[in-house]
Amino acid sequence: MLKSSFWLLLLIILIGCSPEQPSSQLKQIYARDSIRVGILHGPTSYYVGVDGPIGFELELSQALADKLGVQLELFPSYQLEDLLQKLATGKVDYIAGGLTLTEQRQAQFRATPAYRWINEVLVFRQGETWPRSLSELTAPIVVKDSSHAETLRQLQQENPDLVWQEEPILDSDEILQQVIDGEVAYTITDSNQLALNRRFYPKLSLAMTVKDNLPVSWLLADNNDDSLFTVLIEFFGNVYQNGNLIALEDKYFGHVQEFDYVDTLAYIDAIEQTLPQYRPWFEHYSGELDWRLLAAVSYQESHWNPVAKSPTGVRGLMMLTLPTAKQMGVTSRLDPEQSIRGGSRYLHRLFSRIPERIAMPDRLWFALASYNIGWGHVEDARKLSQAMGADPDKWLEVKPQLPLLRQRRYYQHTKYGFARGDEAVTYVENIRRYYDTLLWVDERQQAEQRIEQQKLRLSEQLDSVTLPPITPEVEPESALKPEPEHNNF
């Protein structure tokens, strides 16, 4: 949920800020031609994926650098304390990392306008004891000096028996992993972090909301230099008003709120058990697309069942209609290789029909929706969006109109008529979730393979080393003679 009142108030207050001094922070940024950002590692902010660095906070910071016309210089860290030290010493201009704006942080730092709102939630492993209240809670573990630790200190004032442990080394994701492994009973995390991790660890369960509607901000040093602070207020105002902030949030978090425990378990099992037999064909026929996206489409269509059949007559791994199969050169829709090849060709054809002016990833989402209900219906929804004052080139603004294609008062004025547009929206969001999960699983498998290869190379190197023979040390002959007996007279 995004709110504008906070940043708008700050903007009004700072309109009359004094002119920046010669040594202002903004002048220093322009002088070195870069803005230095301390950024937290993590799935909700910044991480290195298969194709390089990615993340919500990274893209938002890049947008700021582009606005200023300078380079983005990253200082990543797993520890907030390390970044706070860099901020205090002037090594970074601000800190980004999905940081909750707590009372303590407000007292110590200057914060940008809030750009996201989250809840802090208590998490446990499904099947373990579910605490229904704080009085039933047994020693949760949280990151040392985190916003979650501060929340627990506040709750302790009304619950004197509340105790917890603060972990000085592990980050929130590592603690969540320990919850899954049964090494930690409870932890507190952010709602968006839980939503992301449940795609990979479906047994993570929400016990209760500990604190809700908390603002998320960037942190700056608390000083009298308003130069960068004023720019940031203007920046967040602009990205909110032009819709870029909402689009970015939808890109990273818009598809993860819906969670199906049974479906997620089944999907992860299918990745391990079923996908390997079809993976070579997904890789071979993926063309310009990521093979994992093609695999995600196939799972949404058929759950990787090569003989799947719907009541409407679509069949196979990629659930092709008979006319589409003929157009794509598929002679047997039940042949897995032909189905994957034909489905990929069809998806590429749809992708090529999307106007080039539409940027990624919106082009991809429109192509996926077209795979489900046809490009003609997607075009109808885009025209309907434009008539309603929405941007027809942005998926985020078109998808609310897609369900309207079910209603006669809307579809009677469209070229292609009735369509189950709501199903197309669900279809795209499901594929996005499946794709993200498959990315994570594949990256983890690749990392494990690299570790095993390194171990193997090290073992081979050790085996190839010829050590000189070990000659046992022989003591001198005199040392082997017994000591003479000493007689007492």
What is d(CA 485, CA 54) in angstroms, rounded to the nearest whole number? Answer: 82
DSSP count for the chain of H helices, then E strands: 21, 11
Note the pTM of the prediction, 2 decimals: 0.65
The number of residues in the chain equals 489
What is d(CA 425, CA 258) in angstroms, rounded to the nearest whole number? Answer: 13
Token digits of residue 394: 């942005």
Mean pLDDT taken over the chain: 86
The more confident residue out of 242 and 1 is 242
The model's pLDDT over 326-385, given as tens digits with 9 standing for 90+, comes to 999 999 999 999 999 999 999 999 999 999 999 998 999 999 999 999 999 999 999 999
- Give the whole-number percent of the chain exceeding pLDDT 70: 88
What is d(CA 270, CA 275) in angstroms, rounded to the nearest whole number? Answer: 6
Pick from 1-5, 143-147, 327-331 the range whose average pLDDT is largest. Answer: 327-331
Who's near 132: CB < 8 A, 6+ residues apart? 207, 208
What is d(CA 253, CA 189) in angstroms, rounded to the nearest whole number? Answer: 16
Active site residue 301: yes
The model's pLDDT over 421-430, given as tens digits with 9 standing for 90+, comes to 999 999 999 9
The more confident residue out of 312 and 488 is 312
Pick from 136, 141, 144, 133: nearest CA to 169: 144
Give the per-residue pLDDT at 329.
95
Give the per-residue pLDDT at 23.
64
pLDDT band of 486, cuts 50, 70, 90: very low
Out of 57, 301, 397, 429, the active site residue is 301
Angstrom CA distances, 285 to 337, 377, 442, stand at: 9, 27, 18
Pick from 231, 236, 304: nearest CA to 268: 304
Domains and CATH numbers, the chain: 5-117+215-253 (3.40.190.10), 119-213 (3.40.190.10), 261-429 (1.10.530.10)
The model's pLDDT over 242-299, given as tens digits with 9 standing for 90+, comes to 888 888 888 787 766 666 777 888 888 999 999 999 999 999 999 999 999 999 999 9
Helix H or strand E segment including 364: helix 362-373
Token digits of residue 194: 């839980």
Pick from 248, 258, 262, 179: nearest CA to 396: 248
- Is the pLDDT confidence value at 201 over 60? yes
- Is the pLDDT confidence value at 57 over 90? yes
- Is the pLDDT confidence value at 1 over 60? no
DSSP state of 257: S
Question: DSSP letter string over 276-337?
Answer: HHHHHHHHHT-TTS-HHHHHHHHHHHHTT-TT-B-TTS-BTTTTB-HHHHHHTT-S-TTSHH
